[in-house]
Chain A
């Protein structure tokens, strides 16, 4: 993408916001005796809503390429080995610590994204999601479902575990027509 677009992307990445709402007005209080389950929900998004007007964005008009199918398929196996590599090299000897793992998730996701971009698969958008958690006798379930073109879009996933932490890495690749 052009430099202008890269700059915009960098600016947008700096704006992060999150909104929390405490449970009282959100909870649908049922008439069960003695039980009100409180819940808290928080939303976070990349860009604050309503700020789109501040920065003038020239819309990028793309010409039709008349290409419906990708020239090269996304190499799932190669990406899986990248994930394995990266997770093992960064996390093999680490113990779970809040601050370290916070930085680690961000670093690892950037590193994986850079390595997948190096594969130079044209016309694919890449999404890398990394989760690192502490092992402490708890149970956890992660699920994901995607609405996309199953013929060309795909994902690759790897999990890593050591004695004090676990890490899950997912890479989604979506073809851009």
Chain B
């Protein structure tokens, strides 16, 4: 009666997600320099396209994608996250990407339904 999904489909697979996010970031800002008037559009576009790619995986997960783009200016930034969830099925993955003028940090949290 119940459909039992294989372990493959119900755990958070970091590698797949990393590839997807990296491609998304590189296609959005891969060859650009920091531009103040476009940054709004870039963050939205990175987050939205990552989310739509993640849904295409078809896994029974709820996703939270956050993206931080910061201009390179010598300033420091620290990010930490603390999660109250089920360790066996939920997971997170963070990608730090940089080029000569900016840093981009994208983190994906996946929670099993």
Contacts and interface: CB of A to CB of B under 8 A. Distances in A.
Contact of B54 (A112, A131, A136, A147): A147
Interface in A126-148: 126-148
A45 B44 CA distance: 23
B61 to A, nearest CB: 8
Contacts of B90: 125
Contacts of A98: 76, 78
B82 A45 contact: no
Interface string B47-59: 1100100110000
Please classify the interface of chain A as helix (H, G, I), strand (E, B), loop, or mixed, using the class held by over half of its residues: mixed
B33 to A, nearest CB: 8
A82 interface: no
Contacts of B26: 26, 28, 39
Interface in A87-136: 96, 98, 101-102, 104-106, 108-110, 112-113, 116-117, 125-136
Contacts, number: 206
Contact of B65 (A38, A57, A141, A145): A145
Contacts of B79: 105, 129-132
A40 B80 contact: no
B28 interface: no
Chain A contact-residue range equals 35 or more
A142 B88 CA distance: 29
Contact of A143 (B63, B67, B86, B100): B67
Given A98-B76, A129-B66, A139-B39, A147 B55 contact: yes
Interface of B: 11, 13-15, 18, 22, 25-26, 30-31, 34, 36, 39-40, 42-44, 46-48, 51, 54-55, 62-88, 90-100, 107, 109, 111, 113
The 4 closest A-B pairs by CB, nearest first: A138-B73, A105-B80, A109-B82, A144-B66
25 contacts: A9-B87, A30-B31, A37-B30, A37-B31, A37-B99, A40-B98, A42-B96, A43-B14, A59-B88, A96-B76, A105-B80, A109-B81, A109-B82, A125-B90, A127-B81, A127-B83, A129-B107, A131-B79, A133-B75, A137-B73, A141-B70, A142-B66, A144-B66, A147-B54, A153-B62
